């Protein structure tokens, strides 16, 4: 029985150390993941009115799409480079986002 408790204590110790490691190394990502789900998923008709690339240095750049909603409100989202080159100014469709996170854009042809 003592071996069982030693094994259980070892497993719990490893799990605790793993949780501490994750909380120390990834707090920003955990925070973003947890907070983004506070917001509802929104689908709204929109049009792409601008797209731009901000180069921070030789190795890093941010790709931005700016959407205009049917209400006239504009929303901008940082997106990955592959997604950036799928869309062009003037594209219309359904924008799906949650909080300040772009989820996808379904173009209407």
pLDDT tens, position by position, 57-80? 777 889 999 999 999 999 999 999
For 4, the 3-state DSSP assignment is helix
Q: Give how far Cα 65 sits from Cα of 9, 90, 92, 106, Å.
A: 51, 11, 13, 14
Confidence of residue 46 (pLDDT cuts 50, 70, 90): very high
Q: What is the mean pLDDT of residues 17-42?
A: 71
Q: What is the mean pLDDT of residues 44-61?
A: 89
Q: What is the mean pLDDT of residues 72-100?
A: 94
| Cα Rg, the chain, nearest whole Å | 21
Beta-carbon-side half-sphere exposure of residue 106 (alpha carbons within 13 Å): 7
**Cβ neighbours of residue 76 closer than 8 Å, sequence gap 6 or more:** 64, 65, 66, 67
């Amino acid at each position: 029985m003592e071996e069982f408790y030693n094994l259980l204590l070892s497993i719990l110790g490893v799990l605790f150390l793993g949780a501490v490691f994750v909380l120390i190394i990834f707090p920003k990502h955990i925070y973003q993941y947890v907070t983004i789900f506070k917001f509802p998923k929104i689908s709204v008709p929109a049009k792409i009115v601008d797209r731009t690339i901000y180069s921070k240095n030789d190795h890093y750049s941010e790709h931005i799409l700016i959407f205009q909603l049917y209400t006239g409100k504009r929303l901008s989202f940082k997106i990955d480079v592959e997604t950036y080159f799928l869309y062009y100014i003037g594209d219309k469709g359904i924008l799906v986002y949650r909080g300040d996170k772009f989820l996808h854009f379904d173009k209407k042809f």
